[in-house]
Structure 1
Amino acid sequence: MPKVRCHFISVIMKTFKTIWYIIAMFVFQFLDALKDIRMQSLPSQSVLLGLIAIFAIIMIFFVFNLLRWWKTKIYIEGDTLIVERNQLSQSKTTVKLSSISTVNLQQNIFEKIFDVYTLQLDINSSVTANKTDFSLIFEDQTAFAFRDYILSYLDNGITFNEIPSESASSHSYGMEKNSEQIISFPFKEVLRHCVLSFSFLGGVYAIAIAAAAVCAYFTSGEKTHPVFFPAVLSLFLAVIPFIYKSLTAFLLYHNFILEKNGDKVIVSYGLFTRKQFTLPLDKTNALIIRQPFQARLFNLCYGEILNVGMGGDSSQNQSPIFCLLVKPDVLQSIIHQIAPQFVLEEKEEKSPKTAMIPILIKWGFWGILFLAGFSFFYKWWIGLILFLGFLLCGILSYTTKGLKLYEDKLSVTTGVFDKRTITASYSKIQNTSAKYGPISRLLKLAHGNVSILSSASNQNNSIGYFPEQVFDTIFNQTVSHDSMNKK
């Protein structure tokens, strides 16, 4: 495969990402210069020096990125991806194609103007599980050619001296060749997902700020204007995050499409920035089913797919979503079509009633501290409300937690207001731990944790209080499946 460079536009994009904060620092220099020009006079000496300094910094970074771009070549040799850089110090990064876990394409508005794509590659490594390993900007034909070449190798293990001719043909997001559309989401369902998926605790916090602002405004004995602007500012700060998140989520998940092509899942979405995740199912570690608190009221849930070494969707700090909010039976039907090994055939088991004792002791301890603090330093009734709130959290935590052990996998459910269920094969579990406190040991209960290879947000998964023999079963299943894999 011939050696290629990234598209030249990558030089401009990297330069801007490096210096944008410098430009922001000197924005007043620009304003002063414009003011002087408008008054038909030359800018002051300090303004000119500031503009010259900014221009010099921009040129330094631009030349550096230009030389780096010119000296960097990307190519595939046999079954290896190679990124070669020959500057003052030479470097050569090699990656086996078989170690690539995901091949993703992304195109924002700026990239659309120049008809280029960002090719994102993740490898199955825990070291880089929290970030994208390679982010390469190519013109459209080169980006699709690299993607098709890598996916072809992952499918068949076959390498070519040159890219197949059909790879150089025009491509577009949407239905890929030989792919089957599983589900797509129209406008109203995307909007529903955006409205029902915001953070419940964030909503409580916003309501508290808004209530405090309104109370401060109406109870102030001073003139209206000293309190009015702080109150409006507090309301603005409380409401704007929800408006922003709902708007950006709608733009992010616009025209959401899930497809399956052989043993790969293809997820496409986005309005201004169009993303396409191509996820080989043989490198899938787990599936996650999430139910935000508001969605639980309507019995809706959505799913995330967790592949080995994925950096995930950094804009949302989560793994790629493969399905927006739907009914649980619809989600299980979708899972059955794309990854039947993760279907939850049976209802999960809840913690025994005796588990309420250690759970309420833990939550009640923090509630008592707040009750004592507010009673001593401020108003007792606020502490009482917080104490009752902690007890409510303990009850919700007990009712939410669940566990189900299958022959080849387990599902773990956690949460307080929001509900999260992760399903993983025993062979994908890296380690399991069980903890016994004095009270739980007396009740013959234990709580613990299972960890899998993933990004930090999904690596450790807590298990609620269950009988001790349940953890013995998990230990035995994990060891037996691990030994089978080694054979």
Structure 2
Amino acid sequence: MYEPKRQHPAYILTVFLEQIKNVLIPLIILLVSGGKGSMFQYLFAAVLIVFPVASAIIKWYRFTYYITEDEFRIRSGLFVIENTFIQKERIQSFSINAGFVQQLFNVVSVRIETAGGKKAEGILNAIPKEVALSLKNEVLNSKKKKVGLVVAEENSVQAVPLVDISLTIETRKLFLAGITSFEVGLAFAVLASLFSQIEDLLPHSIYVAIYNQIQTFTYMMFFIVFLGSLLLSLIFSTIRYILKFANFTVQRKDDRIIITRGLFEKNEFTVSLKRIQGVVIKEGIIRQLFGYSTVYVEAVGMGDKQEQGRHVLHPFIKTKDVHLFLKNFIPSINYDEITNRAPKRARKTYYSRMIITFLLIASGIVLLPFIHFWVYGIVLIGIFIGELGFRNAGYTLLDRTVIIQSGYLSRTTAILPKERIQVLIGEQSFLQKRVKLKSIYITILSSQFGRTYQIRHLDEKDVNRMIGWFS
């Protein structure tokens, strides 16, 4: 580790696949379209393939890494040499992942991240797993030594007991989690995107035949096709969720939380308990019916891009069990039920906003052919959503923690320790002032940017109470 090393040659394949996917659709269109200019098309397609291969080989050859007593160093670049120096004590996140290609060659990718960076400062795409674990241990041991030198400065911080605890998720629960994850919209969007490319991918005669057949469809047939697409999207999103969180394990070792997951793409995240800024509990509308939720952790440093910068601490847990789960894994986080709700006079404010929104939507839809004024009935949906927003708004104020809850179709509960809050703002519009309501915005340092949680239309006395608690 102390001598400059290149990555495993599998890096060439990973970089090639990463680059080729950006030109995959144009490449397919070039190869299947044919015509008089086919020779030019094949030459251009060859260039699209050869260039990424050459680029990947050069990147592999010019990339070296090694570790010193105090730093992790990376050297890369062809015409412009880039040297990256990362001090061990500044490393906040050390993630080990293994995608499908990496698993074929028994290698892993590593992401090294610090608190102040806007992106991962060090990325190794293909190194042996034992080397990655050695790097990780080297960094952690170095940080422990550093902590030992300054332990006298941290006597005021409550020590976390050195307890090892682990939890895994059954496949059956992952199946239920996938069905209730409400990611059908994402899968439906993917199917719609593929359908939009069908004219370029199918021969013209087949495309015309399908188009003519669709023109003969009745409203009932369109409805059946819609339900079929919805079912297909549900199956796709469920399989995706299961593959994403397969073999999910969360462990607490000393002062670290270690999260591993994935089947074809294995991911491992390590989060220091000292870097945790808050905990978030999300409950989709379907999961609320069955009493389940997902628990996320907000931490300093780069987060999981798939989860909007957060780390999933538990993908599918009974909401009533969250308190015990957090007590075992993050004992420094105090959690309690929501005790203060938005006042009844705030209900009209929540309703009016949704009613106006859905009236505008209905007014646009009614201009379409074959659409009648019954479409204004969707305003009832707006009233229903407004009611959900009103019921979900609330907070609990503890000695050193504020717990806020909000949301419409999806309910979000944020547990925010006082010492982690960066900014707390109470805001009151002219209309809110008439009915003595206020909104509150709380910002914490999360991932590479701050994240703000909010509750609209609380009693102004409650908001003033929170401002006084924080100041």
Asked if Structure 1 and Structure 2 have the same fold, meaning a TM-score greater than 0.5 normalized by the shorter chain, the answer is yes
* Paired position in structure 2 for 1:279: 271
Asked whether the equivalents of residues 358 and 439 of structure 1 are also in contact (C-alpha less than 8 Å), the reply is: no
The separation in 2 between residues aligned to 1:20 and 1:293, in whole angstroms, is 35
Cα separation, partners in 2 of 1:276 and 1:179, compared to 1, 3 Å: farther
Cα separation, partners in 2 of 1:374 and 1:457, compared to 1, 3 Å: farther
Residue of 461, 464, 467 corresponding to 2:453: 461
Residue of 132, 142, 156 corresponding to 2:145: 156
Report deviation, 1:298. 1.3
The separation in 2 between residues aligned to 1:31 and 1:205, in whole angstroms, is 25
Cα separation, partners in 2 of 1:298 and 1:146, compared to 1, 3 Å: same
Asked whether the equivalents of residues 255 and 269 of structure 1 are also in contact (C-alpha less than 8 Å), the reply is: yes
Instruction: Provide, for residues 73-131 of structure 1, a one-character-per-residue CA deviation record: whole Å limited to 9, x for no partner.
Output: 22222332222225322221222222222211111222111010011222212x52xx5
The separation in 2 between residues aligned to 1:203 and 1:389, in whole angstroms, is 23
Report deviation, 1:274. 1.4
User: Partner of 2:464: helix, strand, or coil?
Assistant: helix
Asked whether the equivalents of residues 303 and 311 of structure 2 are also in contact (C-alpha less than 8 Å), the reply is: no
Asked whether the equivalents of residues 401 and 416 of structure 2 are also in contact (C-alpha less than 8 Å), the reply is: yes
Instruction: Provide, for residues 195-215 of structure 1, a one-character-per-residue CA deviation record: whole Å limited to 9, x for no partner.
Output: 122258889999xxxxxxxxx
* Paired position in structure 2 for 1:141: 130
- Aligned partner letter, 2:19: T
The separation in 1 between residues aligned to 2:111 and 2:264, in whole angstroms, is 18
User: Partner of 1:453: helix, strand, or coil?
Assistant: strand
Instruction: Provide, for residues 328-364 of structure 1, a one-character-per-residue CA deviation record: whole Å limited to 9, x for no partner.
Output: 2322111101112223135432111122232222223
Aligned runs of 1:390-405 on 2, under 5 Å? 390-405=382-397
- Aligned partner letter, 1:25: P
* Paired position in structure 1 for 2:173: 189
The separation in 1 between residues aligned to 2:67 and 2:457, in whole angstroms, is 51
* Paired position in structure 2 for 1:470: 462
Cα separation, partners in 2 of 1:470 and 1:227, compared to 1, 3 Å: same
Q: Percent identity?
A: 15
Stretches of structure 2 that go unaligned for 5 or more consecutive residues are 149-161, 191-211
* Paired position in structure 1 for 2:28: 27
Count residues in correspondence. Answer: 431
The separation in 2 between residues aligned to 1:440 and 1:313, in whole angstroms, is 36
- Aligned partner letter, 2:427: K
- Aligned partner letter, 2:142: Y
Q: Which moved more, 1:296-305 or 1:462-471?
A: 462-471
Report deviation, 1:58. 3.1
Instruction: Provide, for residues 358-397 of structure 1, a one-character-per-residue CA deviation record: whole Å limited to 9, x for no partner.
Output: 22222233244456666787522220x2211111111110
* Paired position in structure 1 for 2:8: 7
The separation in 1 between residues aligned to 2:457 and 2:359, in whole angstroms, is 22
The separation in 2 between residues aligned to 1:230 and 1:364, in whole angstroms, is 29
User: Partner of 1:4: helix, strand, or coil?
Assistant: coil
Report deviation, 1:414. 1.2
Q: Which moved more, 1:62-71 or 1:419-428?
A: 62-71
* Paired position in structure 1 for 2:320: 329
The separation in 2 between residues aligned to 1:459 and 1:428, in whole angstroms, is 12
Residue of 106, 112, 131 corresponding to 2:103: 112
The separation in 2 between residues aligned to 1:93 and 1:273, in whole angstroms, is 27
The separation in 1 between residues aligned to 2:342 and 2:402, in whole angstroms, is 15
Report deviation, 1:427. 2.2
* Paired position in structure 1 for 2:156: none
**Is 1:381 aligned to 2:381, yes or no?**
no
Asked whether the equivalents of residues 26 and 50 of structure 1 are also in contact (C-alpha less than 8 Å), the reply is: no
The separation in 2 between residues aligned to 1:373 and 1:232, in whole angstroms, is 25
Aligned runs of 1:15-414 on 2, under 5 Å? 15-27=16-28, 30=31, 47-85=38-76, 87-125=78-116, 128=118, 132-137=120-125, 138-157=127-146, 180-199=164-183, 226-227=216-217, 234-314=226-306, 316-317=307-308, 319-370=310-361, 378-383=371-376, 385-414=377-406
Asked whether the equivalents of residues 402 and 464 of structure 1 are also in contact (C-alpha less than 8 Å), the reply is: no
The separation in 2 between residues aligned to 1:319 and 1:263, in whole angstroms, is 19
The separation in 1 between residues aligned to 2:110 and 2:365, in whole angstroms, is 54
- Aligned partner letter, 1:280: S
Q: Which moved more, 1:85-94 or 1:419-428?
A: 85-94
Asked whether the equivalents of residues 200 and 417 of structure 1 are also in contact (C-alpha less than 8 Å), the reply is: no
* Paired position in structure 2 for 1:211: none
Report deviation, 1:64. 2.9
- Aligned partner letter, 2:293: C
TM-score normalised by length of structure 2: 0.81
The separation in 2 between residues aligned to 1:354 and 1:94, in whole angstroms, is 57
Stretches of structure 1 that go unaligned for 5 or more consecutive residues are 34-43, 160-177, 207-221, 480-487
Q: Which moved more, 1:321-330 or 1:366-375?
A: 366-375
Report deviation, 1:296. 0.7
Cα separation, partners in 2 of 1:87 and 1:52, compared to 1, 3 Å: same
- Aligned partner letter, 1:382: V
The separation in 1 between residues aligned to 2:367 and 2:65, in whole angstroms, is 66
Asked whether the equivalents of residues 112 and 122 of structure 2 are also in contact (C-alpha less than 8 Å), the reply is: yes
Asked whether the equivalents of residues 334 and 401 of structure 2 are also in contact (C-alpha less than 8 Å), the reply is: no
The separation in 1 between residues aligned to 2:411 and 2:450, in whole angstroms, is 14
Instruction: Provide, for residues 311-342 of structure 1, a one-character-per-residue CA deviation record: whole Å limited to 9, x for no partner.
Output: 3142x546221113222232211110111222
- Aligned partner letter, 1:431: V
TM-score normalised by length of structure 1: 0.79
Cα separation, partners in 2 of 1:118 and 1:376, compared to 1, 3 Å: closer
Q: Which moved more, 1:85-94 or 1:295-304?
A: 85-94
